[in-house]
């Protein structure tokens, strides 16, 4: 894969930068973007000049979630065969497999989060080893209000029970500053200082030899594996399938989207939460 279509990849000063490059849709993740990201992660892992991998987003957002409007967003994009299509939830299993690439990667992966970081975007951010964000970033999983449980069930592992339940049950969107205060992300910075502060953090980390970073990451991961991390993530696949396909009200969101468009479905889902979700940043004059 010599040329990427939906990401950018560059290596500089011992850091590999993977940039989601669909700014016109706030970097919504298509299957192409996901597959290119996996390839780039593996390339960085095999590059002995790289100590740290950064995932970031072009334009106004880190990632607005999965591109549910894409025609290729269906089980057949991930199915092993027709026998296993749909009922074994190949969408969820494929996404889980892809996201765990970050977990198993031998090098630390750092998320650089700004703007919208929603649904699938929070999965990427949360499975990364470290996450830095702007204080004004909008972080949450509104899809749990109407569409399905998370593909990657990270909330119980990233947050205390009261806040994990609050965020998954309501789908509420919080600010990057609040995510920092709650321990969901590593650190948050003001918009003005974010670029400089992020560069300072990553430069220091990248000065460590990659084999030392690998030893520390794998030692840490092993503790969470013993506590049941991977088993728990795989165990909730049936709940994703039930919430997405077989519960009585599973098709409401899709029915509205098909009849009136995706924007109308999102408005139906999110209208009751306008006063509690983190506000959208004001539009700047061009």
H or E segment to which residue 195 belongs = helix 191-206
pLDDT value at position 282?
65
Give the pLDDT of residue 254: 92
Distance (Å, whole) CA 202 – CA 17: 11
Structure tokens at 176: 């990057």
What pLDDT is stored for residue 70 in this prediction? 57
Nearest C-alpha neighbor of 73 from the set 31, 12, 127: 31
Give the model's pLDDT for residue 68: 82
Low-confidence stretches of the chain (pLDDT < 70) are 1-2, 69-80, 282-286
Domain that holds residue 143: 7-273
The CATH number of the domain where 82 resides is what?
3.90.226.10
On whether residue 283 sits in a domain, the answer given is no
The pLDDT of residue 286: 43
Whether the CB-CB separation of 91 and 120 falls below 8 Å is answered with no
Of all helices (H) and strands (E), which one includes residue 196?
helix 191-206
Domain count, the chain: 1
pTM: 0.93
SS3 183: coil
Domain presence at residue 225: yes
Flag whether 37 is in a domain: yes
Residue 249 belongs to some domain of the structure = yes
Phi-psi domain of 33 (left: phi exceeds 0; alpha: psi -120 through 50; beta: other): alpha
Is 279 within the bounds of a domain?
Answer: no
Is residue 131 assigned to a domain? yes
Question: For 17, phi and psi rounded to 5 degrees?
Answer: -110, 120
pLDDT of residue 280: 83
1 falls within a domain? no
3-state secondary structure of 276: coil
How far, in Å, CA of 262 to CA of 259, rounded? Answer: 9
**175 part of a folded domain:** yes
Sheet holding 130-134, edge to edge: 7-12, 15-20, 52-57, 109-113, 130-134, 187-189
Q: Distance between alpha carbon 277 and the CA centroid of its chain, in Å?
A: 19
Question: Taking phi first (over 0 means left), then psi (-120 to 50 degrees means alpha), and beta for anything else, what does residue 105 get?
Answer: beta
Report d(CA 105, CA 127) in Å as an integer.
Answer: 11
């Amino acid at each position: 894969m010599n040329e990427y279509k939906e990401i950018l990849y560059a290596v500089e000063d011992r850091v590999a930068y993977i940039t989601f490059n669909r700014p016109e849709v706030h970097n919504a993740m298509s299957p192409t973007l996901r597959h290119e990201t996996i390839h780039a992660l593996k390339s960085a892992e095999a590059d002995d000049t790289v100590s740290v991998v950064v995932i970031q987003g072009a334009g106004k957002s880190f990632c607005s979630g999965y591109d549910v409007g894409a025609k290729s967003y269906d089980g057949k994009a991930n199915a092993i065969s027709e026998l296993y299509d749909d009922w074994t939830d190949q969408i969820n299993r494929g996404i889980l497999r892809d996201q765990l690439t970050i977990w198993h990667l031998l090098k630390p992966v750092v998320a650089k989060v700004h703007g919208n970081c929603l649904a699938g975007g929070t999965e990427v951010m949360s499975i990364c080893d470290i996450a830095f964000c702007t204080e004004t970033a909008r972080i949450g999983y509104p899809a749990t209000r109407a569409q399905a449980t998370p593909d990657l069930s990270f909330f119980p592992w990233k947050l205390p029970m009261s806040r994990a339940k609050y965020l998954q049950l309501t789908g509420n969107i919080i600010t990057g500053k609040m995510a920092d205060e709650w321990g969901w992300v590593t650190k948050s910075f003001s918009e003005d200082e974010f670029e400089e502060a992020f560069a300072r953090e990553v430069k220091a980390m990248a000065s460590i030899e990659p084999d030392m970073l690998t030893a520390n990451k794998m030692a840490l991961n092993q503790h969470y594996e013993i506590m049941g991390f991977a088993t728990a993530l795989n165990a909730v696949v049936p709940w994703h399938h039930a919430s997405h396909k077989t519960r009585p009200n599973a098709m409401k969101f899709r029915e509205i989207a098909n009849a009136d468009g995706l924007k109308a479905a999102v408005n139906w889902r999110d209208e009751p939460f306008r006063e509690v979700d983190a506000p959208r940043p004001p539009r700047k004059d061009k």
